[in-house]
Structure 1
Amino acid sequence: MTETLDTSIPSAAGASDRPAHRDSNVLRWLGAYLSSMVGDSVYYTALSWAAVQTGTPSQAGVVMAVSALPRAVLLLGGGVIADRLGPRRVVIGSDAVRCAAVLAVAALLFLTTPGLWPLAALSLVFGAVDAVFIPAVGALPARVTAKDQLARVQGMRGLAIRLANVVGAPLGGLGVAVGGAATAFGLAGLLIAVSVPLLISVRVRELPADDKDGKVGTLHTTDATDVPEAAPAQPRRELRDGFAYIRGHRVLAPLMLAIALGDFGFVGPLNIGLTLLADRRGWGASGMGWVLAGFGVGAGIASLLLAVRGRLPRAGLVAAYAILAGSVAIGALAYVPSLLGAVGVSLLVGLLAGLSGAMCGALLQTQAEPAYLGRVTAVASLVSLGLAPLSMPFAGAAVAAWGVAPVFVVSAAVCGLGGVVVLCAPALRRAELPR
């Protein structure tokens, strides 16, 4: 190990010296994460505006969607890279590449009118980089704080995501209004760039000795400086090891199934079903916006609760009951006649979904051995970001064939099965977060 970089803190212990919201190391990580997420939101606003202004609507749709393919194809491999090189190093490299790519396109748009090809290329680059960025981001919190603070960190991360969504789109729109897409891209690049020095200053915990010395095949990684200690195993073998690890884990295996069922039951109604429901109820786009705002407020309250509370007892049971109650609220949303009632129900859905999501995320972080976290996060992310969105076309077709209410009920039942899985898996049902 090199001793020129002092980026390590002692190996993760069961309890921390100070709560995460008062830990300067965690706050630097949170600042980097928030800056990167706001930059992402500005980037997507700029990309959609530039694509619509440059090409036809169908071409713009292709540009916006083209990043999904490399993200889905490479995501599992990204988990291997995050575990092999260390999540901190991977996140720093990913943000540096994304920053350079966005600023290059911004410069190109300032100087000329190149057409759609640089936008499509940028979208492809973002998709490929996201494939390694997403697993590394998921694995990093366990290296910057102790296990007893991970629930609080999940809440802080949720608040950062909500804030980025609220701030990012208006900033992107302001950038477009002031100087066009080039200015907005430049702003996005600068925001992403802010995260790099913050991440460099973040100290990371070493892997526990049992993780480094024999539980990951031939993978030996230290996070003292994110430098591999020994020749790594073959990527395919590491990926197989990750799947075998999840499959044989008494908590992670049913937890992955519960997450998958929850995402498949939730994505369709929230994205396609809600739009069709608002249209058929006569609420219009503004009404749909209010319902989505209710969901966002509810999820934000759940994140704030965890950020302040830090830990909830009986995490497995809390997750199960929140999933079951949330599934009932999802089904009820299709039967609420008034807009005000729908906003109230959506707030409840957001609160319960935010609570169950944070509990599942915290359990994933605390139950997985740190050396496997990149691959574990990659599998969970592939389900949520790669496979669950595939349900949206089927949800739309089902609404056209059978109506809104039956689709919401079926989706709620699928979602509720996730809670049933948690209750039927004794180790997951009894799982606790560290004190």
Structure 2
Amino acid sequence: MTVTPTRSGSAPAAERPAHRDPDVLRWLGSYASSAIGDNVYYVALSWAAVQAGTPSQAGLVMAASAVPRALLMLGGGVVADRFGPRRVLILSNGVRCAAVIAVAVLLLVAAPGPWLLGLLALVFGAVDAVLMPALGALPARITPRGQLARVQGMRGMASRLANVVGAPLGGLGVALGGAAAAFGTAALLFAVALPLLMAVRMRRHPLPQKPPAGPGAPARATAWQELRDGLRHIRRNPVLARLMTVIALSDLGFVGPLNVGLTLLADERGWGAPGMGWVLAGFGTGAGAMSLLLTVRGRVPRAGLVLSVSIAAGAVAIGALAYVPTLAAAVGAALAVGLLAGLSGTLCGALVQTESDPAYVGRVTSVASLFSLGLAPLTFPVTGAAIALWGTGPVFAASAGVCVLGGLLGLGSRALRHAELPR
């Protein structure tokens, strides 16, 4: 077991495993509640948008949140580092809760048009741009570096649980009380996360002290200067610099096929919605199993090498999805994708946090999140148009090639290839 010095430096103390740390468990509970609320919210929003307008208007409502998320994500990292991730998460969940309650009340008393739902989506996108970097930065402030891989595994398990529970819960809310009831359920889940976050104690204080105020005192850096400092920090760290490129390529090649592409593939093969559900279940099972393994194990030796190899191998499984002859084989391929994506995703998150200077974790996380949650979803219409022109096979193969390139770039970087997680 890893030991860390006490504050006095006189004697070592045993490092508490993350799954036994009350602060980590409170953070995990708040994350799970908020993530389930996200899934309920998206079900409610999609249902309300379809009921309030045309299919094209509903599509615009569902896509509206991607715009502020992509534009503001880097600024969200500056906010997380400047004000502290815990404070930002509390405020963000409070804003989301209030916004959803307001829309739920309006739906009960009136029939607002798609413009209101579009405004709600824009608000959520802007809040997400601040919330996501803070969410990535908080674990490094509440647990030792040697436990960060385990924390990422725990987060992966909570995310899978949210996906399994959230959508059916949202559907049940819509069935029982319409979109207003589903929005109310989402607001309740966001509210549950607040006291859990407030109870989390910050154990690490990496932020530099503020400059003294008064005449002649140096001016505090502007937000733009802090953002440039964060980007400079990434550029000067060879592991982070290459890791950002690897994350960008793997997400750009992964997100389209596993979202839009899988729906079109199931329709083309005649698998229907049940078949697509089985394929998604295979992926979720693989990703959940890998998260559980990493939660128990806590550390993966030669993390950088394993990360790069798993991305390249996962790309092969993605390409195979479009060419396997049967639904059972597709479920098997999706299981392999889930296992490998779960491994690489967890290692990416852990390496981002351990390689970053603690004062820059929010800004580094915002760059990684920009690719994953801001730019990658914009490939959805491109993937759909490409499949309409060339079919599923060539598009899946091309996407797999982009992922393979990310893995090869990781293998080609000596710094990333030899990167290790703390013991």
Superposition map of 1:1-400 within 5 A: 17-208=15-206, 212=208, 232-400=220-388
2-structure distance, mates of 1:278, 1:49 = 23
Aligned-pair CA distance for 1:401: 2.7
Q: Which amino acid aligns with 2:208?
A: K
Q: 1: CA distance between counterparts of 2:250 and 2:360?
A: 23
Distance 2:113 2:280 in 1: 34
Structure 1 CA distance, aligned partners of 2:400 and 2:73?
A: 28
Take 2:421 and 2:397, find their aligned partners in 1: how far apart are those partners? 32
**Aligned 8 A contact 1:251 1:367 in 2:** yes
Q: Distance in 1 between matches of 2:48 and 2:393?
A: 37
- Give the distance between the partners of 1:380 and 1:37, measured in 2 at CA: 19
- Equivalent AA in structure 2 for residue 100 of structure 1: A
Partner-residue secondary structure (3-state), 1:335: coil
CA deviation string 1:32-62 (max 9, x = no partner): 1111111111111111111111211111112
> In the aligned structure 2, how far is the partner of 1:21 from the partner of 1:10?
23
- Distance in 1, matches of 2:88 and 2:14, equals 25
CA gap 1:231/1:50 in 2 versus in 1, 3 angstroms: farther
**Residue identity in the other structure for 1:147:** R
Aligned to 2:215: none
Give the TM-score, by structure 2 length: 0.93
Q: Deviations over 1:66-96 (max 9, x none)?
A: 1111111111111110010000000000001
| Runs of 4+ deviating beyond 4 Å | none
Q: Distance in 1 between matches of 2:155 and 2:31?
A: 8
- State the AA in 2 paired with 1:106: A
Between 45-54 and 189-198, report the one with greater CA deviation: 45-54
**Deviation by residue 1:173-213 (Cα, 9 ceiling, x = unmatched):** 111111111111111111100111110100012334xx626
Q: Distance in 2 between matches of 1:59 and 1:393?
A: 15
Give the Cα–Cα distance (whole angstroms) in 2 for the partners of residues 61 and 413 of structure 1. Answer: 29
Letter of the structure 2 residue corresponding to residue 429 of structure 1: R
1:432 is paired with a residue whose SS is coil
Contact 1:16-1:146 within 8 A present in 2 as well: no
Q: Residues 52 and 112 of structure 2 are in contact (CA less than 8 Å); yes or no, is this contact kept in structure 1?
A: no
- TM-score w.r.t. the length of structure 1 is 0.90
Q: Distance in 2 between matches of 1:98 and 1:199?
A: 15
Percentage identity across aligned positions? 69
Q: CA deviation at 1:286?
A: 1.6
Measured after TM superposition, the shift of residue 170 of structure 1 is 1.0
- Which whole-Å CA distance do the structure 2 matches of 1:425 and 1:268 have between them? 26
Cα pair 1:54 1:115 within 8 Å, conserved? yes
Take 2:293 and 2:420, find their aligned partners in 1: how far apart are those partners? Answer: 17
Q: State the distance in 1 between where 2:347 and 2:151 align.
A: 11
**Alpha-carbon distance in 2 for matches of 1:60, 1:404:** 25
The answer to whether the 8 A contact 2:142-2:204 is kept is no
* Maintained 8 Å contact 2:66/2:377: no
Q: Distance in 2 between matches of 1:398 and 1:61?
A: 19
User: Are the equivalent residues in 2 in contact too, given 1:156–1:303 (CA < 8 A)?
Assistant: yes
CA-to-aligned-CA distance 1:362-404 (integer Å, 9 cap, x gap): 1011100111111111111111112122323332233233322
What is the CA-CA distance between 1:143 and the residue it aligns to?
0.7
Unaligned runs of 5+ in 2: 1-5, 213-217
Which is further off, 317-326 or 231-240? 231-240
Query: Alpha-carbon deviation of 1:360?
Result: 1.0
**Contact in 2 for aligned 1:10/1:206 (Cα 8 Å):** no
2: CA distance between counterparts of 1:219 and 1:50?
49
Q: How big is the shift at 1:274?
A: 1.7
Distance 2:14 2:35 in 1: 27
Task: Check 1:286–1:159 CA distance in 2 against 1; reply closer, same or farther (3 A cut).
Answer: same
Residue 368 of structure 2 aligns to which amino acid in structure 1? Answer: A
- Judge conservation of contact 2:45–2:62 (CA < 8 Å) in 1: yes
Q: Write the distance in 2 (CA, Å) between the matches of 1:194 and 1:343.
A: 35
Give the CA deviation at 1:409: 1.7
- Deviation at residue 15 of structure 1 after TM alignment: 8.7
Distance in 2 (alpha carbons) for counterparts of 1:365 and 1:254: 15
Q: Report the 3-state secondary structure (helix = DSSP H, G, I; strand = E; otherwise coil) of the residue aligned with 2:238.
A: coil
For 1:58, the aligned partner's letter is: S
Change (3 A) 1:396 1:118: closer
Corresponding position of 1:409:
397
Worse-matched range after superposition: 89-98 or 104-113:
104-113
SS, match of residue 205 in structure 1: coil
Shift of 1:10: 6.7
* Conserved? CA contact 2:78–2:227, under 8 Å: yes
Distance 1:219 1:30 in 2: 34
CA distance in 1: counterparts of 2:163 and 2:391, whole angstroms: 31
SS at match of 1:292: helix
Q: Which runs of 5+ in 1 are unaligned?
A: 1-8, 221-229
